[in-house]
Every structure is written in structure tokens, then in C-alpha cells.
A and B are shown apart, each in its own frame.
Chain A
Amino acid sequence: MEYQWNWGVFLLPSAVNDGTYLDWMFAGLKTTLALSLSAWVIALLVGAVVGVLRTAPHRGLSFAATAYVEMFRNIPLLVQLFFWYFVLPEMLPAAVGDAFKAMNPVAQQFIAAMVCLGFFTSARVAEQVRSGINALPRGQKNAGLALGLTLPQTYRHVMLPMAFRLVVPPLTSEFLNVFKNSAVCSTIGLLELAAQGRQLVDYTAQPYESFVAVTVAYLAINVVVMLLMRKTEALVRVPGYLGGK
């Protein structure tokens, strides 16, 4: 039997009559974008703090930060996701757990997915930030301190601005990874892009069209991210330094 291509499938009204199948795809795309972007914000904020702490001249702090990174980096994303979604609500104080479980299921899935993806990615961002800080000439820190700046001020005004510039390229690939990893969140039932694609297959038996559409959507996201980060890189380029003019 030959495969029956039908690109018109996207314009058909969906089986449950809530718009077309194309609307499904866009709903999935929107969820993927919202999930990934919010997770990225968490990852950047937490990652920056943890990355800085890893370089802190304080045994306890740097140990805690290292433990954090190793934990989130070395447990598979899928396992972490199940932990946040299935296990943690049971371990929380009853009031909090119940409040979570009383929420609309889509919100539950979204929050668990966002937190999971955010923390998972934050460990990777932390490593990038740490390597950026370590790549700076050692004298920069001394120069800041010698002027009377405190250590936090030296990080804030002297080291981090350069460290972040250095790690824009590796952060680009982490940013891309957030979008790709977000597909894992379909396993807890969150209807993001990949899940919508699979649902479309179930309802229409048109897998090729569906997965081509999903692929194109992911590609489009990644092209936009890449352009955005390239723009960022150019914007923060320092004259006379590292390829700047």
C-alpha cells in the first residue's frame, strides 16, 4: 500500500472540533515557547549564581555549588522530570502538595516541566559561567580588589561582564538545548510541540506530514535563537578585544 500524502490535513477541523489541526500545532508551539523561555530565565538566573559560587573563595559555598551542578548534570532529564512531577508533590508538606494537586492538570504539568527544565539547564549554564570566570586573567580580580572594590563588587563590575561575554557562544548551544529538551516534557502529558505532533498522528494517520511540520517548527525556533544570540554577541563585543573592532 502506498502512503497517501495529504498536506491539506492541517486545514481539516480537528476530531474534537476545537479548530483545525494546524491550530493544534500552534498551540503546541506556543507551549514549547512558553515552557522553554521561562525555563531559560530560571536557568540563567540560577546558573549565574551557582557559577559564581563555584568560583567563590569559600569552601562551603563552592562545595555546595559543585554538588548542585553534579546532581543536576548527572541525573537523566527524564528521571528528574518524573521526580518533579510525580514524586516531589508527595514529599512536600501535605498542604503544599495538595494545593499543587488541586491545580488544573495542565498547570501542574507546565510548572513541573518548567522547574525541571530550568534547574537542569541551570547546572549547565553554571558550568559555562564558571569556565568564563576562570578564563579571565587572574589579575583582573586583583585589580578590582586593589582599587578597594569588595569581592561582590569586583564580580559584578569587573569579572562577570567579561565572563558573560566570553560564554555567549557556548550559552547559545545551551539555549538551543532548552528547546530541544522541552520535548521530553511530553512524557508527563504536557501538550507541547512534539506531543501535539504525535497526537495528530493518532487522529489523522498522517505521520509524515505531522513530523515534518514539527521538525520545521523546531528548526525555525533554532534559527531564530541562533540569529538572536549572534546579534547579542555582536552587541556586547568589546572594541579592541576578542574579535572586536
Chain B
Amino acid sequence: MITIDKVSKHYGNFQVLTDCSTHVNKGEVVVVCGPSGSGKSTLIKCVNGLEPFQQGDIHVNGTSVGAPKTNLSKLRAHVGMVFQHFELFPHMTIRDNLGLAQIKVLKRDKDEAAEKGMYFLDRVGLKAHAHKFPGQLSGGQQQRVAIARALAMDPICMLFDEPTSALDPEMINEVLDVMTELAQEGMTMMCVTHEMGFAKRVAHRVIFMDHGKIVEDDSKEAFFANPRSERAQQFLAKILQH
């Protein structure tokens, strides 16, 4: 589904990603973790072309992200993305947040978009809030809306960029629950997250990054039981202590 092949990226002299290669199979849940500044957010943003990269290529469902002639908008329309800061559109009601891209990108008519939106809003348990504005919802609720907004586009895979990092601790679980459910339904997911509990429960594979390199890329059992690199061992020791 997603193939990342020897991707490197730099800002000027600063190397952000070095020779990253991995893949996400259909129906697979891959968690990307690592210390801050390790390039994990940058890597996931390269997958749908939000961040350009200088070397290597990424293919999503067979389409090259790096090729200049690729219609990135078309590709992104079917790759759902959830951001750290939710990024709902504050001037639109929840209903319109879910409808906008369905109508403008997928050319669905208004009623169809509204119906689809309501279906996913119901799935994340927020049907009653459809008429509200994002600013009137809690962080956890906003993030669930953001997930519903991505799902309403019928994505072939979902990218999560630290979806719970900006949330109060008590709201993290409501978001993780939605993600877990999604994973169990067989959605292909690539998740940048520090939630190791989520990784243990849901992930198939774990990728560990450090200094712009993929240091570990292993099944979750192998990763948690016996990380090969010293850096990952340190990371796990620190993060699992509490």
C-alpha cells in the first residue's frame, strides 16, 4: 500500500531524513516512534507529499509521490490524515468541516456529503454536535471529528501525525479507542505516536527513528521484547518506566 524507498530530505545543510526505506501493507498498522526531532513527523508528511523530499521515492497504492507529474491533490483525497493540532476549520460547523472536501474534491452532492458525514460523526460518537463550531468542542472531541472528516473521504489508508500529543491526558483514550476500532476493521494505518500502550495493543509493526534514520523496523513483538539498537533500548526504558 505504502512503499517508502530510500527517501532523504534536507533543509539547506540540515539533513532531516537519511535513506529511509519501509513499507506498510494493506490492512497493516505501523507505529512510528522515536525521540522528538527524529524526523518521524516529517517522514509521515512525505507520504502524502505535504513535505517534499530530494531523494528516493514513495509510492502510495502504486502512485509515485515524488514524480512531478503526479496529481498530488488526487492522491491526497484518498489518503486520510490526522494532525497533532486537529486542524478543523474554525469558521465552519462540524457538519461543514466534514462536507467541504467531499463536495469540492469528490464532487458529492450536498445531501450525500451530509449523510456520509453524519454516519462517521455517529461512529465517533459526536452526532449530536454536528451544528456546533470546532471551538465549542473539547480537544478530544475535535480530534475525533478530524478522524471522521478524514474517513468521510473513503480513504484507502490513514496517516496519524501524533494525534494525541496535544490532548489532555483524560481525552487521549477517547481518541485511541476510535483509532483502535479503525485498526480492527482492517484500515491500513501509519501512526506517529508516543502511545506505546496503543502500539502494543494495536500495531503490527513498529518503526523506531533517530536522527532522521530508521533505526528499527520490526514486528511489535520483536521490538518490545528485544530491541536491537541501543538507542531504542534507551528510548523504551525511559518511556515504559511510567
Contacts and interface: CB of A to CB of B under 8 A. Distances in A.
A joins B in a complex: yes
Interface of A: 137, 139-140, 142-150, 153, 157-158, 161-162, 165, 238-241, 244
B123 interface: no
A238 B90 CA distance: 7
Contacts of A238: 90-91, 133, 135
B182 to A, nearest CB: 17
Interface string B56-100: 000000000000000011101111110111011111000000001
Contacts of B87: 137, 139-140, 142-143
B201 interface: no
B89 A148 contact: no
7 contacts: A142-B50, A142-B87, A143-B87, A144-B89, A161-B89, A238-B91, A241-B133
A145 B78 contact: no
Interface residues of B, number: 34
A164 to B, nearest CB: 10
B213 interface: no
B116 interface: no
Contacts of A158: 89, 100
Contact of B135 (A140, A147, A157, A244): A244
Contacts of A244: 133, 135
Given A147-B149, A240-B135, A139 B83 contact: yes
B50 A153 contact: no
Contact of A146 (B81, B89, B104, B136): B81
* Interface residues of chain A: helix, strand, loop or mixed (majority): helix
Nearest to B136: A240
B48 interface: yes
B222 interface: no
Contacts, number: 89
Nearest to B133: A239
Nearest to B96: A157
B134 interface: yes
B50 A145 contact: yes
Given A146-B80, A147-B100, A161-B89, 11 more contacts: A139-B84, A140-B87, A143-B83, A145-B50, A146-B79, A146-B83, A158-B100, A161-B91, A162-B89, A162-B90, A241-B91
Contacts of A146: 48, 50, 76, 79-81, 83, 150
B232 interface: no
B90 A147 contact: no
Nearest to B74: A148
A137 B87 CA distance: 8
The 4 closest A-B pairs by CB, nearest first: A240-B135, A148-B77, A143-B87, A147-B101
Contacts of A143: 81, 83, 87-89
B136 A150 contact: no
A153 B105 CA distance: 9
A147 B85 contact: no
Given A146-B50, A147-B149, A239-B133, A162 B76 contact: no
A148 B105 contact: yes
Nearest to A245: B136
